[in-house]
Amino acid sequence: MENFKIEIDGDGIATVTFDVPGRSMNTLTSGVMKEIPEWVEQVKGDDAIKGVVLTSGKPRASAPGRIWATWPGGMLGGSDLQAAYDAGWRLNGALRALETCGKPVAAAINGLALGGGLELTLACHYRVVGDNSKIQLGLPEIKVGLFPGGGGTQRLPRLIGVQAALMQMSEGKSWRPKDALSAGVVHEVVEPGKEVEAAKAWIKGGGKAVQPWDEKSFKLPGGGPYHPAGSQVFIMGNAMLRKQSYGNYPAVTNMMKAVYEGVQLPMDAALRVETRYFIKTLMTPQAQGMIRSLFLSKQELDKGALRPADVPKSDPKKVAVLGAGMMGAGIAYVQAMAGIETILIDVSQEGADKGKSYAEDILKKRVSRGQMTQDKADAVLALITPTTDYELIKGSDLVVEAVFESRDLKAEVTKKAEAQLAPGAVFGSNTSTLPITGLAEASVRPEDFIGIHFFSPVDKMMLVEIILGEKTGKAAIAKSLDYVMKIRKTPIVVNDGRGFYTSRCFGTYVAEGLAMLEEGYAPAMIDNIGRATGMPRGPLEMHDDVALDLSVKITKQTKADLGDKFTPQPGMEIVEKMVEELGRYGRKNGKGFYDYDSKPKTLWKGLSELAPVTIAESTPELVEDQKRRLLYRQAVEVARCWEEGVIDDPREADVGAILAWGFAPWTGGPITMIDQIGLKAFVEQADKYAAQYGERFTPPQLLRDMAAKGETFYGKFAGKKAA
């Protein structure tokens, strides 16, 4: 076999090593699924084999990765339900054969066991895991619009109860080894490297070759749907999942159905129920879009799909960060975590030290949670040098400027830093709104000047937006992408323009919330509708998060730069009054659209005086229309960015939107949403909104032309090749 190796020891125990060639980690490819039943039959039919230990031949054991795109009925657009079901059943049938082979099977988990990787181990009779803080066990499929389809919805509830299983699967969270032991997912946690030894000891000690759910005496932990306690779980669980998903994710509903129906049936029938719901989910547009954007496209971008191929690979060893505020401190932390020597510069030593303390606080938490040793934390912290001395920049491969959004201040620090840089070193500005070409005017080497836009909080936000100025060279692009990949972020590359791609498009969501406020919508209704679209927060909440005073400063800078071409945005007068007259800056000073002096936060009562409410009652039709309005406004701006050449790759547009500002993930991203709605229907609806709310909804000519030709973005624009 290509993916599995079998060795039988003197005790008759077969060690089956899972090791997919040519991959850094094991995934459940079609070849793997074909071979599982082959070695199961070999084990079952060989009398010399008394038991089986399944382990990984890679330090990063196994992670999600069935190739959904090649499945019948999957991303390729097939519609043969029987073929899709047969493909879906292939893994479930194989794992069912494994757990009923009549011989004890133990999993020796020595690395990641996520998605299908964990489902494979759940089909084993015993699970041993190494006590390694880097190991995670979980079922994260919900994050890409699916749910566990390899027996996870049936085995996990039978192991730990329906309530705990539904919570874990619906959130896609993972366990560390000791947490998995406490939850009842694994049986034993051992010293790293002793996993196989412990698994063999269990078999030699009389390990049982029958799963608990295959015994006549088995009872579902916590009870099933008709048990007094179990019935409450489904009643409350249905409401909780609805609250989390707002009905946007078919995977959530179908997962609940698979669990509800499956736990009432014998395992063989239950697995067939799961497979049917899984295939039904896989064929939905939501799953198709999320798999493409959050799995396939994201992987391509993570691996450097946009990197100029003819530039030698670079490996940044030393990077300076200018500005030790929240953003600069976060950048310094992720750099140090990636092993990069970091010079953290601020105007005062006190400020620089405070920036380093941000990293220290995060590292302390990681150590306390067992996610890192103290020695490792100390080594990471030692990589950060807080200082006011620009001469320490010497020898840096790259500089990331993260000072206040002032063109004059950025010009000043650019000149100071460039005086210390060797030829070929890159200067990156973390500006979120100011055009890179204009900032590069302060540089004596504009070919090495580029935008490197992080998002806050840096340690949690996974996207970095690379912005090209008019004179940015190919080498600077390549080096910036090498840097982003080294710190394990997802890069997108966009062209210059005010607000670039992410800030510009995100701003339309917040601005449309202000327009609704000015129109008389109740503030609570605005934010509830915003969350119901699938956005992470309502537009008013989100405005508080990014700071109202920052919004006012950006508006004033934009007005100064554009002069007569500046177009006032609805509702900004309300924000200006809140900031300049009432000192309400948002979450950062505890006063914005909300008051934050108590938990939970409450809407500021004085808002009704600035924006009288005339629309306080909603109907389902109104909610759906306003949800569509908020999503369309963002998507129209994305299309404008495309027409203007700011962005030109559907992968970057979709992944960037979801990761940067939280564009409703269930859509697959704004470009996927437009494609799935259909260009013609999208343009017609956008025109209706333009007539109702203003020119900001008017579709660009690009959309009209594509609609007339029956085109789609993913059909017309292939993935952008590296320059």
- What's the CA gap between 102 and 674, in Å, rounded? 52
- What's the CA gap between 673 and 161, in Å, rounded? 37
C-alpha to C-alpha distances, 436 to 268, 281, 712, nearest whole angstrom? 60, 43, 31
Residue the block writes with tokens 């020695």: 375
Longest dimension (CA), the chain: 87
Distance, C-alpha 129 to centroid of its chain: 26
Instruction: Tell me which residue of 324, 331, 333 sits closest to 360, measured CA to CA.
Output: 333
3-state secondary structure of 371: coil
Residue the block writes with tokens 């998507």: 635
Name 328's Cβ contacts closer than 8 Å, sequence gap at least 6: 321, 322, 344, 346, 355, 400, 402, 403, 430
* Cα dihedral 705, 706, 707, 708 sign: positive
Q: Is 617 exposed, middle or buried (0-12, 13-18, 19+ CB in 10 A)?
A: exposed
Residue the block writes with tokens 């949690």: 460
* Cβ proximity of 168 and 139 under 8 Å: yes
- What's the CA gap between 659 and 290, in Å, rounded? 12
Amino acid type, 221? P
Long-range contact list for 265-268, CB < 8 A, 24+ apart? 267/96, 267/154, 267/211, 267/213, 267/214, 268/96
* Cβ proximity of 629 and 636 under 8 Å: no
The DSSP 8-state label assigned to residue 565 in this structure reads G
Task: Tell which phi-psi region holds residue 98, choosing left (phi > 0), alpha (psi between -120 and 50) or beta.
Answer: alpha
Task: Render 304-336 in DSSP notation, one character per residue.
Answer: TTTS-TTS------EEEEE--SHHHHHHHHHHH
3-state secondary structure of 18: strand
- What's the CA gap between 474 and 302, in Å, rounded? 19
What are the catalytic residues? 453
Name 24's Cβ contacts closer than 8 Å, sequence gap at least 6: 58, 60
Q: Count other C-beta atoms under 10 Å from residue 47's C-beta.
A: 6
- What's the CA gap between 203 and 334, in Å, rounded? 44
117-148: b or e for each residue (b if 16 or more CB lie within 10 Å)? bbbbbbbbbbbbbbbbbebbbbbbbbbbbbbb
* Cβ proximity of 670 and 638 under 8 Å: yes
- What angle, rounded to 10 degrees, do the helices at 349-368 and 326-337 form? 50
